[in-house]
Structures are given as C-alpha cells and as structure tokens.
Amino acid sequence: MRTKIKQNQENRGSVLALVVISLVILSTLGVGLLRVAYGVRRQATLLKNETVAMLAAEAGYEKAIFWMSQQQDMLSTLQNRADGTSGTINFQDGYCDYSIEFFTFAGSRPVYKVVSNGHSGAFNRTVSVLVLQAISGWDMGMCRVASGSSSTYPVNFADGEIIDMPLHINKFDDSPDNRDIYIIGSPQFLRSVAMGESRETAGGADKYSSVMALFDGGIYFDQPDSRITDEASVQSKIDRFKESTKNQFRFTPVANAPVKKPNPAVQLEFFVNNSGVGKVRITNNCTVRGYKRNRDYKTWDFRVKPGSGGTKYERYDIYAYHLMSANAVANGDRFVRRIEQTYVTQSIGGVESEPGGQIFVDGNVIIGGNKSRHNGDQIVKGKITVVATGNIWIADSVMVDGPHDANGKPSHNNPNILGLIAQGVIKVVDPGMSDYGYIDNTPVEPKGFTYVPIGRHNSGQSVHKRYLPDPMVVEGAITVGGGGWGAENVKRGWYGDRKEASKPTDNLIVRGTISEAVRGVVGLIGRDGFTKQYYLDERLLEGVLPGDIWLKGKYIPAPAGWNDYRP
C-alpha cells in the first residue's frame, strides 16, 4: 500500500513539473510573439514614416516646380526676392519645407536648385534637384493665323512638309472642342509633339484617333502652356536683356526720310572678313517704306494688338524697301564692328554666364543687304542675339559659319549661333515690293537719302529688281512675341502674291528653334510663298545662345540633377 501511494505522489509531481515547464515555454513564446508583433508594428510605423517623409519631400518639389512655371521671368523673380521662393506644406502624418534658388549657368542657360525636406515622426528625407527651363523646337500659342481684327484661321501641316523639331501647341479652348493641330495629308513629324489640350473631349470622344500614326516621335497631352503669349513675360525678358547690353549696342533709330508710311529701323549685315573674323555692319536710322492693305480681307499680314492679351490683331506696315542717309558713313550711322565687341556676360549673385553678343533695338531690324562677301548670304561667326521692340525683317538667307553635318545642320562642335527676338513679328520680306506699281514702281530717293538694295539682283535689270534665293535658309533661334514667323505679302484672294525665285513656291529651311504667339503664314500650298522644312538645332538645348530668351512654361531636371537622401 505504501508503495502505491508513493508511486501516485511521484506521478503527480511529474505532471506538475510538466505543467510548470509548459507554462514557462508558453510564457516565453508569448513574450517572444509579443516582441515580434511589437517589432513588426514598430517596423511598419518606421517604414510608414519614412515613406511619408519621402512623399512629402517630393510634394514640396512638385509645388516648387508648379510655382516656377507660373512666373513671368524666373531670374527676375529671384533677383527681386519675390514671395513664393520658399514654403511649407502640412499633411496628416507629416510636413515639408522647400526652397528655390539660382544655382549657376550652363553656358548662358540659368540652372536653378530646388531643395525640399520631408518630415514624418523621427524620419527626414531630402530631395535636391537642379532644374532647367525646358526648351522645345517649335512652340506656338495657337496653330492658327490671324485673319481679321478678332478672328483666326487654322493653319495646316501638309504633304511634303518636314518638321524635324519638337512641337508644342498651347490649348486653344475652342467650342466645340476640336483638335488644336490641323493636318492635310501626311506631313512628317519626326520629333515629339506636345499639346496643351486633352486627347479626348469632355464627352470622351477621341479627337486624335485618325492622325496618331503620323507622330513618329510620339505625342503628349495636357502639357503646360508656353509663355510666348504672355506679353508681361516677354517684356520682362527684353527688359533684362536691354539692361545687360552694352550702351554702344543699344539703338533707338529714327525714320528721317520723307516717304510714305516711314518706319525706323537698324540694318544688320553679318559677314566674315578675309582674316576669318566675324563682323557685323550696322546702319542706324534707316527709313523703311512701309505698306499696309486697307482692308483685313486683303492680307495675312497681322500682328497681335499690344495690350489685348493675344485676342485682338491689327494690320501692320510690311517692308517695301528702305533708305539710309546719303552720308551714313560720315555721320556715324553706318559702321562695322567685330561681333566679339558686342559680347557681355549676365551676372547673378556673382555667378557669370558664358560671354555672348547682344544687340538691342528699340524699333525695327532689317537683316541682310547686297554688300556681303558671301554671294548675298549673311554669315554669322560668333554668338549673338538680336532683340527688337518692333519687327525683324529677314532680307536674305542667314547662316552660321563653321562646320555643318551632311544633313545641312550646324555640327555639334560648331560654336556659332544666332538668336532673334521681336515684340512685333519676324518675317521674310517680299523682294518684289520695290518693283510693284501699287507701291512706288521704283524706290523713292528724297534728297539726302539713298536706296539700299537687299537680297539678290536680277541680272541685266534695274538695281531695284530683286529676288531671294531658293531655298531660303535661316539658321537661328526665332522668338516672336507679337505675332508669327512667316513670309510677308502672301497671296490672299486677289491681293498680294510674292515674288518667288521658283514658281509657284520656294522652300524655306529653318535650322534652329521657333517660338511664336500665333502662326504666321509661310505660304499657300502650291500657289504662293514657301514650303516649310524645319529642323531642330540641338546645340540650342545646351545653353549656347546668349540672353536667356526661353519662354516655355515647364521646368525639368538637369541631366544627373536629381538627388534624394536621408540628411
């Protein structure tokens, strides 16, 4: 009996030990699981905080970029210490603070630095980005030409046209909502196309389904508008350009010749001398004999009416011919300078841009003449930008010196570049105007003034019988704040009709960039004017052009300019 009781007691002791051991094991497991759960939860919280901090930093960057896109002139904004260059955004689980500052120049192109710090809990993330104002190939406020004081007409891209430059068209906001790019046949769009409008209408209809195959370089929708239509933005750029131009290259011409519709102008003739030096012959105080049709329906030659916000248009005096003082050399109106003598640098906070030439004209500019050493062509050797508060009239082919690729474009290592900016229009003149009966039959030369031929001379005929080459070539960056780029006196109905070298149309080749508030008429397909062949000069994307003339409403990270990190 004692043996049995003892055995039962031993069994109960073993069970108790097992229970205690089990409780210890379960307690240990429970504590471990609690620690694991706590660790997982803590890790999730930390991961969430770090993610929120990063997203907050990126949100600050996006806010800064959007604010930059709304500024008329970013450099002037920073110089004036305007509000908005820094800010804070609060979120449910964090916040960010951001700042914008000028960083340096890439050639003559400003580079800005955006720093945004995101915060959430104990975590901080920083996004530091170097950004540039985007440069397109061909920006237009609308793909339409002015046809009257308050009316516009669509301009078509057509068969045979080659557009080898990125294209951007601002949103037109028409009703009904039609496609904002107009196409006949199959023009060649070799680069990307950016549209301010959406692909679909508000009702979901696809406006682009029938033409999508034409865009070899792709097409993008809902893009920020170019500021070429903003008069204040253009004015701000021009004001800063004038301030940084040397006094001896700031001109305010006067039209002294007593002719009909006189317009003041400065004539510029670019050439390379026998020693290989790039020069410009400047003739100040020229008088352009203007001509303007008396009714809107007789012409395509309109400009944006100042102060109208781009919604009103007016006929302007087109170029017929021009005169200079008979004593222009003696009285100092005509002189020659090396292009390098026009060079300046823009300085921001002690940081200087690369040097480049600048000429400012408070009036009109004529580019071209008949005294060139290059068979009439204007040859630019150097870096130079010309700004006019009026019109710029192109009176002959204008090309840059130096190496060109097999396709005709300036080679990547070519250091020569030309920029043209006008608050009026930039147009190729009609060389026949000096010979038309409805003008003056022959140029009028009042006492003390001399007719100045442009373009090429029709061999064996009177000196005022002129023509322009086919093809007509312009190599440079063209910015038109008061209208469009194109050709003057293109036929409209029974009126106009340019003098071409090769009927019915010549070729107009642009190697550079174009930015225009509205389209200008270049020609009528198969009838008059020019057929377009436009090519992007990629060098312009690298900041080689003096003057900071770009007006695109978009900022992009510089190459290798994005950096995000834990501070």
DSSP string, 61-126: HHHHHHHHHT-S-HHHHHHTT-TTSEEEEE-SS-EEEEEEEEEEEETTEEEEEEEEEEEETTEEEE
Q: Would you state the pLDDT for residue 76?
A: 85
pLDDT at 351: 87
pLDDT at 38 over 60: no
> Per-residue pLDDT for 9 more than 70?
no
Tokens read off for 349: 């906070």
Banded pLDDT at 14 (limits 50, 70, 90): low
d(CA 311, CA 65): 28
pLDDT digits (tens, 9 = 90+) for 428-465: 999 999 999 999 999 999 999 999 999 888 888 888 99
User: pLDDT at position 214, please?
Assistant: 94
Task: Express each pLDDT in 25-34 by its tens digit.
Answer: 666 655 555 5
Neighbours of 113 (CB within 10 A): 16
Give start and end residues of each alpha helix (H) in 141-257. Answer: 231-244
396 or 24, which is more confident? 396
| DSSP category for residue 517 | S
Strands 343-344 and 356-361, bridge-based pairing: antiparallel
Tell me the per-residue pLDDT of 221-257, one tens digit each, with 9 for 90 and over.
999 899 999 999 999 999 989 999 999 999 999 999 9
- Copy the structure tokens of residue 183: 């196409």
pLDDT surpasses 80 at 555: yes
Gap between the Cα atoms of 504 and 480, Å rounded: 27
pLDDT exceeds cutoff 60 at 1: no
Predicted pLDDT at 161 = 82
> What's the confidence (pLDDT) of residue 15?
62
Residue 40 has pLDDT above 80, yes or no: no
Cβ neighbours of residue 503 closer than 8 Å, sequence gap 6 or more? none
pLDDT of 51 strictly over 90: no
Q: Give the pLDDT confidence score for residue 566 in this predicted structure.
A: 87
Asked if the model's pLDDT at residue 104 lies above 90, the reply is yes
Q: Can you tell me whether residue 29 is helix, strand or coil?
A: helix
pLDDT digits (tens, 9 = 90+) for 468-500: 999 999 999 999 999 999 999 999 999 999 999
| pTM, two decimal places | 0.88
Number of separate helices (H) and strands (E) present in the chain: 3, 41
Output the CA torsion sign for 434, 438, 439, 440: positive
Position 47 pLDDT exceeds 80: no
The DSSP symbol for 404 reads B
Answer yes or no: is pLDDT of 77 > 70: yes
Question: How confident is the model at residue 400, as a pLDDT?
Answer: 97
**Residues 282-339: tens digit of each pLDDT:** 999 999 999 999 999 999 999 999 999 889 999 999 999 999 999 999 999 999 999 9
pLDDT of residue 29: 57
Find, among 541, 550, 276, the residue nearest to 410 by Cα. Answer: 541
pLDDT, mean of residues 271-282: 94
* Confidence (pLDDT) at 123: 86
pLDDT tens figures, 182-197:
999 999 899 999 999 9
What pLDDT does 79 receive? 84
Longest dimension (CA), the chain: 154
pLDDT score, position 366: 98
Q: Across residues 352-356, what is the average pLDDT?
A: 92
Q: Is 21 helix (H, G, I), strand (E, B) or coil?
A: helix
Between CA 229 and CA 517, with CA 487 as vertex, the angle to 5 degrees is 5
Whether the bond between 567 and the residue before it is cis, its omega within 30 degrees of 0, is: no
- Name the pLDDT band for 41 (thresholds 50, 70, 90): low
Name the band, by pLDDT with cuts 50, 70 and 90, for residue 6: very low
Per-residue confidence band for 136, with pLDDT thresholds at 50, 70 and 90: confident
- Is residue 201 within 8 Å of 179, Cβ to Cβ? no
Mean pLDDT of the chain: 89
